[in-house]
């Protein structure tokens, strides 16, 4: 490839990536996948393991649809969900700096993802450092969510934390733009996010339903509810 042409192409790719970052996560991930020459698509059923803690980190995944939970297992074997990923997320990117998977990734529902070998991303570091830096910047923004995770889901009353999680699930899946409806996790999964018992989560959700903060709309395999957004937000800020 002519060096001038290659330089111009790199600049064009960088500009496109920056523009897509401004317009949203999904567009940015799509552009990055296209710039890398694409990958192969793979589907996971609910509860399928995408990668396991301790395995070699060889593949990154661009999530096209569905939700994935990142699980860490405590010394007593109890699972703790440390992150949730929705459509547009770039999963497994820590393989750029760590050759071993730190957590286990499990499909929450039907998931479709694009697989990109880590070695291809590493080549990008030499071929187009600025585009690689943009990917790293996006990854860093994902890592910053860990601070939000601690603040939002580990402090305050259980009722406030459940309300925050319901709102987070709505934002993660884009259902904020679908009239406020949200697909919930199971009580056990929500408890594994919040570090409380499933019974505590169940009691709070039952109260939300009784008070019409959550209204069952009965769509899909997972429970789906229309939210009373102002009321849930008020509880979340308590």
Q: What percent of the chain has pLDDT over 90?
A: 45
pLDDT of 104 reads 96
CA–CA dist 167, 172 (Å, integer): 9
- Measured CA to CA in angstroms, residue 182 lies from 18, 28, 45, 205 at distances of 30, 24, 20, 13
CA–CA dist 23, 128 (Å, integer): 22
Q: Of 25-34, 86-95, 133-142, which gets the smallest average pLDDT?
A: 25-34
**Going by C-beta distance under 8 Å and a sequence separation of 6 or more, which residues neighbour residue 143?**
none
- Domain residue spans of the chain: 3-143, 149-236
Higher pLDDT pick, 111 / 93: 111
Q: Of 43-52, 149-158, 186-195, 204-213, which gets the smallest average pLDDT?
A: 149-158
Claim: this prediction has a pTM higher than 0.85 = no
Q: What is the mean pLDDT of the chain?
A: 81
Q: What CATH topology corresponds to 3-143?
A: Jelly Rolls (2.60.120)
Q: What CATH topology corresponds to 149-236?
A: Arc Repressor Mutant, subunit A (1.10.10)
Checking if the pLDDT of 144 tops 80, the result is no
pLDDT of 150 reads 79
* For residues 26-47, average pLDDT: 71
Note whether 161 and 195 are within 8 A (CB).
no
Q: 3-143 and 149-236 share one CATH topology?
A: no
Instruction: Please name every residue paired with 63 in a beta bridge, in sequence order, or none if there are none.
Output: 113
């Amino acid at each position: 490839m002519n060096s001038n042409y290659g330089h111009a192409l790199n600049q064009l790719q960088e500009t496109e990536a920056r523009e897509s970052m401004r317009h949203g996560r999904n567009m940015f991930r799509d552009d990055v996948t296209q710039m890398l020459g694409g990958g192969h698509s793979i589907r996971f059923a609910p509860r399928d393991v995408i990668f396991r803690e301790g395995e070699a980190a060889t593949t990154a995944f661009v999530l096209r649809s569905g939700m994935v939970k990142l699980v860490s297992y405590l010394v007593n074997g109890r699972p703790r969900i440390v992150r949730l990923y929705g459509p547009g997320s770039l999963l497994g990117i820590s393989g750029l700096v760590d050759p071993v998977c730190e957590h286990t990734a499990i499909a929450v529902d039907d998931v479709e993802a694009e697989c990109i070998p880590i070695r291809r991303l590493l080549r990008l570091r030499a071929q187009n450092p600025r585009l690689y830096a943009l990917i790293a910047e996006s990854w860093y923004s994902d890592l910053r969510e860990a601070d939000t995770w601690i603040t939002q889901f580990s402090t305050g009353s259980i009722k406030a934390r459940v309300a925050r999680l319901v709102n987070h699930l709505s934002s993660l899946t884009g259902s904020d733009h679908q009239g406020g409806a949200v697909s919930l996790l199971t009580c056990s999964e929500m408890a594994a996010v919040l570090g409380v018992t499933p019974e505590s989560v169940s009691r709070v959700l039952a109260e939300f339903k009784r008070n019409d903060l959550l209204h069952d709309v009965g769509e899909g395999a997972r429970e789906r509810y229309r939210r009373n957004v102002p009321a849930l937000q008020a509880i979340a800020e308590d």
